Structure formats: C-alpha cells, structure tokens
Amino acid sequence: MARADPCLGSGWAAGLDADQVVVQSHIIPANGQPTELDYVMRQTSSGWKIVDVLAAGSVDGRPVDVFIAGDDAQAKARVSVFIESLGMHPMDAGQLPMARALENAALLQLGLVAHSVKHTNFVLGVNILS
C-alpha cells in the first residue's frame, strides 16, 4: 500500500490507493479518555477487508501498549518515537520472527470480541509488576 507520512485521521487518506478507505472510530471507556482507532479498508472481489489498524491515545488514563518487532534497531527506535508522539507506549517484542506472535495476539483479541467478551472495551497489554 502506498502511504503518506503515518498519521491518524484525514492525513492518512492522502496515501491511500483508489480501492481503500479510512474508517474513523473511537473506543470510549465508561470513565476514561477516548482512544482513536482508524481502520484502513480495501475493496476486494469478495468484499471489504481491513488491511491496517491505527490507534492513538490512552485507556483509563494509561497509554495503550504498542508491540513492535524487527531486526533493525534504528528503525524500531524511530517507530518508538512515533508511537510515543501519539500518546502510546512502545513495547519492543524482539526480532522480526516475533511479529508472527504479535499477529496471533491480535487474532486472540478478535476471538475474545467475537466469542467471549462481546465488546471492544478491553485491551491486551503488559503490566510491569516490579
């Protein structure tokens, strides 16, 4: 996908392909600040598919954890600065092979929404105990 500089909202639209749209939404916990959640969707022969998800903000006043994986330490450092600029907390999960585990964590979250939790008012994250 051709992308403009990564940003949320209308700035994202400048880098979209002709068959893509941005769906802007917010997750608003009962007693917290809204978290912006934008979906980039692409029209395919079998319907619309989500091809990217962007989030910014915090949940109940705590920054959202964003897990990253990669082999290029400088690239991860730049991405971490960008994530922090959106008010979120970067969490380095290690080398590029860990990306598969991160994808599976997203599938776990979608499964919980579909079968158990039945809403999106939750996050998967890390609590550092000591």
Most confidently modeled range among 65-74, 78-87, 98-107: 65-74
- 19-54 pLDDT, tens digit each: 777 777 776 666 666 667 777 778 888 888 777 666
User: Rounded to the nearest 5 degrees, what angle is found at the Cα of 106, between the Cα atoms of 77 and 118?
Assistant: 140
* Segment (H or E) for 117: none
Which residues does residue 91 pair with via DSSP β-bridges, in sequence order?
67
Q: Tell me if residue 14 falls in helix, strand or coil.
A: coil
Q: Where are the domains of the chain?
A: 10-115
- Return the residue matching tokens 């499964």: 111
Mean pLDDT of the chain: 75
Assigned token pair, 48:
């619309």
Helices and strands per DSSP (H, E), number in the chain: 3, 7
Q: pTM of the full predicted structure?
A: 0.55
